């Protein structure tokens, strides 16, 4: 049933009872790769009158042009770098994003051959781009926590930055609302949405959305509503078999929002005249909805990254068909008529063509036929595999997207009993930081993994030794996120040095010690949970500046600054404002 409240219901019923799978013939089109490694496709779009499908491959740094009907590769363009997205600009042109190169690349198709045009420097760690007004492009920077607007230059002219806005969260999805000319910058991990003036970059306001891991935000055909794909981690639910069975702990949702209400300044009206449709039923959860598409006929297509399926349906029919695709589908490109789509399967180097009207799979195209996954890559598949959880409601990635963490609390027996939900801890840079959990319950990562699957996810099977080895290899490969501040700027470097001296003078390094800025002991730092625990294991401070906006095990601190100003964390005396700013700069440099 629909849920017209902003909060999750006790029981979520299915969108419909008929989930018939129309499966076509799977075809494989082999294409060789010079190195025996995955291409890792991450995004796709149509150009050339829907005759050509462009595919961005993250690991190989390639753009592929495929025949949109057969799936045969017609042209390949090796760009290098770390390609994370591709966005259609017009019928013959698209923009590709190189995350490590911090640049946008214009991709053109001329005479059936791919080539690059303009190269535009932008924010650090760009992850998405959309067209703004006139010749402007709006870009979200993930770890730089910025949104920037650049003017698309004429040939042989440098790109002109128009404005850059710093945020207190990591943005991913961008949505331009017209005629208001307002950009919605959406949190990549948590629940924040910032409203920015598209002309000036001024932040108009910021709201906390009821949901996390917000991946898709599109208009319906008449432009009166926004459709949002997201998850909700309910801290009032417990990681019990019952609460997971009914989809109450982690729900996977499509939310319809009234466009007029979204633009109102009164947050209480944000959800009014909207509703939620859950993805998943008892026995068949719909874990990890990713970026979605709405066709001209109002058909919604959303890849389910943890279920290895794509869901297709119409709001009025109250049902979604579920089609099996490849491993970890993350994106879907749909032709302009809304008849055919190509699903991008990130972790098995494949694309799945679907017939939207018939709700059927047409074919599968393999991009790296001879690739053999490494141990860490097999662990990454397990990390995104919702079959490890009861009824497939969640994967590890549901609470740890990208290996990071949603800024939410979960009641998952990590402290030995329920009723004390705690903030999800980032896994980036967590190698060699034992013990694990807020109260250090597990001395070894292997034990933590087994307990997570059996108690947090209520999985039916214990992890095999091989699976533990694979997951451990993947987690060990996760490096800390880059710091928020730029230490190469002389005045910033000086502030970092002063802040480090304050850090040591205040004996912060007694608990947050060594190169990992943590230790194996439990400490009483003036905090207490609902079960009376007062001693906690200090989380590593590597990447601490990327974890906000809220902090502590129960999210009581509204910002990193509030940790020291409002909660006086381990301070005998308040810090002066200059000292506080230096200490915060040092922490944000880790």
> What is the share, in percent, of the chain residues with pLDDT greater than 70?
93
Q: Which of 258-267, 326-335, 389-398 has the lowest mean pLDDT?
A: 258-267
- The pLDDT, as a whole number, for residue 329 is 98
Contact 285, 247 (CB under 8 A): yes
- The pLDDT, as a whole number, for residue 36 is 67
Average pLDDT over residues 308-316: 91
Give strand pairing partners of 192.
208
Average pLDDT over residues 562-573: 93
Q: Report residue 318's pLDDT band, with 50, 70 and 90 as the boundaries.
A: low
Report how far Cα 125 is from the mean position of its chain's Cα atoms. Answer: 14
Cα Rg of the chain (Å, integer): 24
Nearest Cα to Cα of residue 147 among 159, 134, 160, 138: 138
Tokens of 427: 């896994």
Upper half-sphere CA count for residue 294 (Cβ side, 13 Å): 19
Residues whose CB falls within 8 Å of the CB of residue 17, separated by 6 or more in sequence, listed in order? 319
Q: Report residue 388's pLDDT band, with 50, 70 and 90 as the boundaries.
A: very high
- The pLDDT, as a whole number, for residue 17 is 29
Q: Report residue 26's pLDDT band, with 50, 70 and 90 as the boundaries.
A: very low
Query: 36 or 270: whose pLDDT is higher?
Result: 270
For residue 512, the 8-state DSSP code is S
- The pLDDT, as a whole number, for residue 52 is 97
- The pLDDT, as a whole number, for residue 6 is 41
Answer CATH for 27-373 from 2.70.240.10, 2.130.10.10, 3.30.70.260, 3.30.930.20: 2.130.10.10
Tokens of 590: 């880790």
Domain boundaries, the chain: 27-373, 490-588
> What is the share, in percent, of the chain residues with pLDDT greater than 90?
81
Average pLDDT over residues 518-526: 93
Burial string for 288-313 (b: 16+ CB within 10 Å, else e) reads: bbbbbbbbeebbbbbbbbbbbbbbbb
Q: Report residue 27's pLDDT band, with 50, 70 and 90 as the boundaries.
A: very low
Structural element, H or E, at residue 560: helix 560-565
- The pLDDT, as a whole number, for residue 28 is 34
User: What gap in Å lies between CA 48 and CA 70, rounded to an integer?
Assistant: 15
Give strand pairing partners of 320.
313
3-state secondary structure (DSSP) of residue 472: helix
Confidence check: pLDDT of 422 > 60:
yes
Nearest Cα to Cα of residue 239 among 9, 386, 393, 462: 393
The superfamily CATH assigns to domain 490-588 is Cytochrome c-like domain (1.10.760.10)
Q: Report residue 37's pLDDT band, with 50, 70 and 90 as the boundaries.
A: confident
Confidence check: pLDDT of 319 > 90:
no
Indicate the pTM of the whole model. 0.92
Confidence check: pLDDT of 354 > 70:
yes
Confidence check: pLDDT of 31 > 80:
no
């Amino acid at each position: 049933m629909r849920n017209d409240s902003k909060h999750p219901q006790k029981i979520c019923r299915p969108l419909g009872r008929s989930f018939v799978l129309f499966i076509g013939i799977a075809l494989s089109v082999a294409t060789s790769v010079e190195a025996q490694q995955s291409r890792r496709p991450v995004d796709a779009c149509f150009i050339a009158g829907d005759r050509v499908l462009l595919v961005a491959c993250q690991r190989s740094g390639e753009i592929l042009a495929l025949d949109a009907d057969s799936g045969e590769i017609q042209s390949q363009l090796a760009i290098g770098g770390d390609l994370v997205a591709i966005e259609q600009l017009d019928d013959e042109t698209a923009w590709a994003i190189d995350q490590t190169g911090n640049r946008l690349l214009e991709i053109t198709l001329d005479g059936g051959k791919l080539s690059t045009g303009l190269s535009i420097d932008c924010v650090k760690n760009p992850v998405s781009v959309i067209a703004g007004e006139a010749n402007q492009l709006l870009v979200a920077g993930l770890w730089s926590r910025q949104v920037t607007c650049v003017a698309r230059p004429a040939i042989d002219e440098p790109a002109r930055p128009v404005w850059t806005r710093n945020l207190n969260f990591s943005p991913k999805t961008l949505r331009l609302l017209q005629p208001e000319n307002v950009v919605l910058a959406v949190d990549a991990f948590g629940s924040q949405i910032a409203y920015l003036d598209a002309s000036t970059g001024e932040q108009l306001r910021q709201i906390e959305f009821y949901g996390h891991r917000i991946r898709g935000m599109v208009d319906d055909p008449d432009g009166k509503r926004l459709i949002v794909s997201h998850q909700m981690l309910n801290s009032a639910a417990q990681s019990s078999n019952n609460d997971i069975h009914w989809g109450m702990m982690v729900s996977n949702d499509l939310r319809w929002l009234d466009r007029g209400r979204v633009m109102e300044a009164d947050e209480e009206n944000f959800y009014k005249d909207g509703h939620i449709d859950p993805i998943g039923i008892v026995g068949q959860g719909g874990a990890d909805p990713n970026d979605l598409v709405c066709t001209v006929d109002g058909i919604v297509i959303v890849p389910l990254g943890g279920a290895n399926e794509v869901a297709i349906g119409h709001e009025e029919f109250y049902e979604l068909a579920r089609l099996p695709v490849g491993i970890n589908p993350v994106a879907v490109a749909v032709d302009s008529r809304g008849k055919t789509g190509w699903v991008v399967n990130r972790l098995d180097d494949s694309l799945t063509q679907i017939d939207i009207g018939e709700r059927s799979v047409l074919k599968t195209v393999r991009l790296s036929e001879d690739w053999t996954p490494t141990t860490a890559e097999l662990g990454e598949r397990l990390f995104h595999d919702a079959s490890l959880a009861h009824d497939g409601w969640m994967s590890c990635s549901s609470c740890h997207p990208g290996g990071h963490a949603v800024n939410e609390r979960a009641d998952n027996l990590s402290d030995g009993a329920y009723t004390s939900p705690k903030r999800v801890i980032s896994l980036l840079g967590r190698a060699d930081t034992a013990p694990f959990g807020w109260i250090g319950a597990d001395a070894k990562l292997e034990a933590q993994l087994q307990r997570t699957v059996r108690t947090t996810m209520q999985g039916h099977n214990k992890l095999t030794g091989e699976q533990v080895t694979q997951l451990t290899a993947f987690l060990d490969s996760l490096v800390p996120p880059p710091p928020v501040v730029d230490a190469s700027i002389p005045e910033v470097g000086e502030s970092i040095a002063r802040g480090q001296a304050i850090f040591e003078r205040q004996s912060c390094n007694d608990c947050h010690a060594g190169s990992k800025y943590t230790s194996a002991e439990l400490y009483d730092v003036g905090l207490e949970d609902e079960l009376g625990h007062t001693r906690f294991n200090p989380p590593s401070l590597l990447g601490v500046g990327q974890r906000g906006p809220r902090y502590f095990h129960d999210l009581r601190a509204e910002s990193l600054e509030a940790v020291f100003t409002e909660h006086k964390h381990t301070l005998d005396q308040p810090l002066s404002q200059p000292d506080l700013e230096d200490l915060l700069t040092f922490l944000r440099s880790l």
